[in-house]
Amino acid sequence: MHAGRKYTFFEFILWTRRDLYRLTILAVIPTILYHFCGFTFLSISWVPVALLGTAVSFIIGFKNNASYSRLWEARQIYGGIINISRAFGVMIRDFLESKDKSIEVKVIFYRHFAWLTALRFQLREPRAWENMDDPRNVEYSRNYHIAEKIDKLEEVLAKYLSADELSYVLTKKNKATQLMALQSSHINRLFASGNISDLQLQSLQNAITVFYDNQGKAERIKNFPYPRHFSSIATIMLNLFVFLVPYGLLNDFNKLGNGTLIEGYSIWLNIPFAILLTWVFNSLDVVGESSSNPFEGNANDVPITNISRTIEIDMRDMLDETDLPPAITPEHNILM
């Protein structure tokens, strides 16, 4: 996510410059043909273009609202993971403290860090509908690094798991699910050996249920895109509108200079104003698109790497460890 005050206008221009090149070409061609070649038939009434623009504004607004909802839900999911992780850690520590089970407490804590790691790696896996291969996003991603694209999962998990558990988990397709299953088995063994009571077992299993619930919600957002039919029709209508705008403005700007000193030259105003109008609509669309997949590694994603590190620091602090990992800080105002 962007952790600064705001994106600058220059950043927006740089980010959308490829679109600006396309929009400029679409505005220049009909203007030249109209002015130099006498193709006055290229001019069309502004009324149908304006009506189409109204429809485009509605569907882009709908798309942006839905994209923001997906982003905000993803942030709420990880907010829930933060809260239940702290509660889970306190319960494990306090329930087993009187039993002098500090080693087992640490094993459960570190297995939880492994679960957070496996989950964030899974959520960063690419999907066909995501936008990280878009040239504008590829270029901007050079301003920050995505840990899940650089680190190797097995090496990170090795810091938290025993050799046997690591070997077992690496054979599984959904590693996060199996890690939480190991937590459940461990807790049930503690109950069977009399180290925790019925009520304590229920509290801990309820926490595991919440972890699974939040994982499932995150996977739903990851694996179910913004509906393709809505996305497709928005793109088609936007491209049609962008194409027609320069033709709809031709006659108006040509007449603008009649009887004035700029007569014969006012037609050239069609180019900057057409670019400006179409750039606004196009930029609104790409902003919504950049928010629709909140786990892909985009600069506007939920910072799951940072959140996972925050949870780890808090829980290791509960163990009174002093060698805590450093907090993750923004790179060029981008926090992952």
pLDDT of residue 290: 87
Q: What is the DSSP letter of 334?
A: B
Cα of 208 vs its chain's centroid, Å: 26
Q: Are 62 and 230 in contact (CB under 8 A)?
A: yes
Q: Note whether 222 and 302 are within 8 A (CB).
A: no
- List pLDDT tens digits, range 287-316: 888 889 999 999 889 999 999 999 999 999
Domain-located, residue 326: no
Specify if 325 maps to a domain: no
Is the residue at 62 inside a domain? yes
Whose CA is closest to 283, among 68, 24, 37, 13? 13
Query: Does residue 327 sit within a domain?
Result: no
Contact yes or no for 244/52 (Cβ under 8 A):
yes
The confidence score (pLDDT) of residue 57 equals: 93
Structural domain containing residue 113: 9-318
* Domain membership flag for residue 328: no
What is the pLDDT, as a whole number, of residue 99?
66
Q: Is 232 within a domain?
A: yes
Residues near 301 by beta carbon (within 8 Å), at least 6 away in sequence: 1, 293, 294, 295, 336
Evaluate whether residue 63 is within a structural domain.
yes
Residue 330 included in any domain: no
Number of domains forming the structure of the chain = 1
Report the pLDDT value the prediction gives residue 260, as an integer from 0 to 100.
55
Low-confidence ranges of the chain (pLDDT < 50): 259, 261
Q: How far apart are CA 293 and CA 295, in angstroms?
A: 6
pLDDT of residue 136: 87
Rg of the chain on CA atoms, in Å: 27
What is the reported pLDDT for 261? 46
